[in-house]
Amino acid sequence: MDIRGIVVVGTYTDRHAETVRFFREVLGLRADHDEPGFTNFRLPDTGKIEVLGPEHGHEHGHARFTTAPVPGLLVPNIVAARAELEAANVELLGPLLGDPAVNAWQHFRAPDGNVYSLTFGQYRR
């Protein structure tokens, strides 16, 4: 598999407001998207940190973020990378989400029990 970098880290918390305040006030990050239960911080290198809370809907599979922050591993071909995981009998968590030609992700569980994500999109690497 061709992993190009870690480009997104998603974290789920029951303390969404406090976590967002920490990222803003202590770490000095700026949110480029903020709604109840979901805040996205875009980093200068085009990476991002997503903070998700219980108010956010689970249609994107974020309810699986229960063990630790979820790193998004950038791949140049999300469909091929997903097929590699499937061929290796890796536990895929739901379907491929998003548009594989523009921006898509696939959550999976690694042997350590944690959730990870393959990610494809417009990131500088």
44: CATH: 3.10.180.10
- Does residue 125 sit within a domain? no
- Degrees (nearest 5) of the Cα angle 100, 81, 120? 40
Q: Which residues contact 123 (CB under 8 A, 6 or more apart)?
A: 4, 5, 7, 46, 47, 74
- The pLDDT, as a whole number, for residue 26 is 87
Please provide the distance, in angstroms rounded to a whole number, between the alpha carbons at the two ends of the chain: 16
What does the pLDDT look like over 64-123, one tens digit per residue? 556 678 889 999 999 999 999 999 999 999 999 999 999 999 999 988 788 899 999 877
- The pLDDT, as a whole number, for residue 3 is 92
- Does residue 10 sit within a domain? yes
Name the phi and psi angles at 30, rounded to 5.
-110, 135
- Does residue 102 sit within a domain? yes
Q: Tell whether the model's pLDDT for residue 36 goes beyond 70.
A: yes
- Does residue 48 sit within a domain? yes
Find the domain containing 105 and state its range.
Answer: 5-120
Tell me how far apart the 2 most distant CA atoms of the chain are, in Å.
Answer: 44
Tally of domains in the chain: 1
